[in-house]
Amino acid sequence: MCDTFVVLPPFTADGSIIFGKNSDREPNEAQALEYHPARAYPAGQTVKCTYLEIPQVRETHAVLLGRPFWMWGAEMGANEKGVVIGNEAVFTKMPRDRKGRLIGMDLLRLALERADTAEQAVETIVQLLSDYGQGGICGLDDKRMTYHNSFICADPKEAWVLETAGPLWVTREVVGVASISNGLTIGEEFDACHPDAIHTAKQKGWLKSGETFDFSKCFSDWFYTTFSACGKRQSRSFGLIREEETQKGGGGFDVPAALHVLRDHQEDVYHPDRHLLGDRICAHAANSLARNATQSTGSLVAHLKPEVHAYWATGTSAPCTGIFKPVWFGSSPLPDIGPVPEGTFHPDSLWWHHERLHRSVLLDYPARIDAYRQDRDALEGEFLEKAGQVKSEERSELSERAFAQAREATDRWTERVQGLPAERRPGWIYRRFWNRRNRRAGIEI
């Protein structure tokens, strides 16, 4: 499960557009933070997506991606034009296709590689849906996991929500604030929809005679939508955004506020083993019943102004235990962050290097997160301050320093945390769940 939001003027402090997303997946589903430069291709070239091979376009944009290691597509990302996209799994009444078509993450990456604007990204996804459909297994270990997708597509001028149900779709331009969380949100008011959406709803008996067409009401699957707790998370993120900008006098939402939203647990003293459903924005896996694929495995914030597009990425799981680092497009957007992570522990990989800290904190979350929270906030604050002052030609150097400092700090914090006694150990089911994942990943805590 995931959460994605976007905030537009007049609610942002500097007139920018701010986008944020947590990518929630299985605990060992390491997510690669990676950059792919723009490329030109000869006519007739194809591109092999996760399951399906389709014709390649002649030119693709440079892209920054958060990509689950085993698939071609990405959960979130941006391109050199300032287009940013996040996707959400949604569960609908339309049949879910297990065959290898385009999965939602493929649609996202293809749109980033091909679109110059957010609206063009929406059009690209809609066309790909029409040409190839969506479908295929979307889980690492869970081979039953299939779903449809919703998206927020944003650029420095505007943002759109696109929601799908099988081949059907609906769009709405964002005014002010939008938040999506694993459930259809577009109801009676929309800008465009698939030409067969209303007819399909009537034909299947989901739209009664005399009723106004409501995409969400007609196509949402009640069971999965309810037990994904998407309504609670979507309401929480929307409320936090309005609270943050109101506390700053109205129109005050900024990047630190976006980081705060992505780290939210709804309570000051959080115990990740004490709730059943995945109803927290900063998500922690905990059991095989309802929270197996609810670990935040990557996080991204985009700060989109007309003249500069800055990105803040963890490159790691659990934003509450990690640190956001600045990234800009340019000649070398990302420093060396080690080998691309896979499903087992590798100490040189950025994602797995942080997992030693993350999974050590889980043994006594309240006490252990407090052991370094202030240090983390201070270091992140330093990055934010410098990013606001840095010259364009110095951005790559600042990004490289930030990643290096964050890695050094992670080593210090891991040693500090592991030196603390676990005075309040979590419940047996929770410990058993994580012990199994640790063994499977080959990581010792």
Concatenating the DSSP letter of every residue in 27-96 gives TT--EEEEEE--EE--TT-EEE-SS-EEEPPSEE--EEEEEETTSSS-SEEEETTS-EEEEEEE-BSSPP
Mean pLDDT of 55-63: 98
179 pLDDT more than 90: yes
Q: Report pLDDT for 261.
A: 97
CB 69 within 8 A of CB 340: yes
Could you tell me the CA-to-CA distances from 345 to 283, 325, 352, 353 in Å, in that order? 21, 22, 6, 8
What does the angle CA 136 – CA 137 – CA 139 come to, to the nearest 5 degrees? 150
| pLDDT band, very low/low/confident/very high, at 178 (cuts 50, 70, 90) | very high
The whole-angstrom distance between residue 82's C-alpha and the CA centroid of its chain comes to: 17
CB 106 within 8 A of CB 98: no
242 pLDDT more than 80: yes
Tell me the C-alpha distance between 20 and 198, whole Å. Answer: 32
Length of the chain: 445
One-letter amino acid of 41 = Y
Phi-psi region at 57: left, alpha or beta (left = phi > 0; alpha = psi -120 to 50): beta
The 3-class SS string of 77-134 reads EEECCCCEEEEEEECECCCCCCCCCECHHHHHHHHHHHCCCHHHHHHHHHHHHHHHCE
232 pLDDT more than 90: yes
Mean pLDDT of 281-304: 95
248 pLDDT more than 90: no
Tell me the C-alpha distance between 283 and 424, whole Å. Answer: 20
Q: Report pLDDT for 126.
A: 98
CB 27 within 8 A of CB 295: yes
Omega of the bond leading into 10 within 30 degrees of 0 (cis): yes
Please report, rounded to a whole number, the percentage of residues in the chain having pLDDT higher than 70. 99
Residue 209's Cβ-count burial label (10 Å; 0-12, 13-18, 19+) is exposed
Q: Report pLDDT for 196.
A: 98
Tell me, what DSSP letter sits at residue 348?
T
Closest C-alpha to 18, from 229, 215, 179 = 179
Q: Report pLDDT for 71.
A: 98
The mean pLDDT of the chain is 96
Q: Which residue has the higher pLDDT, 408 or 224?
A: 408
Q: Report pLDDT for 1.
A: 77
Question: Tokens in use for 228?
Answer: 């994904």
Mean pLDDT of 236-248: 83
Domains annotated for the chain, with CATH where assigned, are 3-337 (3.60.60.10)
Could you tell me the CA-to-CA distances from 75 to 32, 87, 129, 166 in Å, in that order? 10, 6, 17, 19
Helix (H) or strand (E) holding 309: strand 309-313
Tell me the C-alpha distance between 89 and 142, whole Å. Answer: 14
Tell me the C-alpha distance between 410 and 435, whole Å. Answer: 22
- Report pLDDT digits (tens) over 382-420: 999 999 999 999 999 999 999 999 999 999 999 999 999
Provide the 3-class DSSP secondary structure of residue 177: strand
| pLDDT band, very low/low/confident/very high, at 246 (cuts 50, 70, 90) | low
| pLDDT band, very low/low/confident/very high, at 65 (cuts 50, 70, 90) | very high
Q: Report pLDDT for 405.
A: 98
Distance between start and end Cα atoms, the chain:
26
247 pLDDT more than 70: no
Question: Tokens in use for 348?
Answer: 């040189």
Q: Report pLDDT for 249.
A: 65
Q: Report pLDDT for 151.
A: 98
CB 249 within 8 A of CB 285: no
250 pLDDT more than 80: no
Strands (E), 142-227: 148-154, 159-165, 168-173, 177-180, 192-193
Q: Report pLDDT for 286.
A: 96
Q: Report pLDDT for 224.
A: 81
Question: Tokens in use for 338?
Answer: 């080690």
How many CB atoms are closer than 10 A to CB 422?
15
Catalytic (active-site) positions = 2
- Report pLDDT digits (tens) over 203-220: 999 999 999 999 999 999
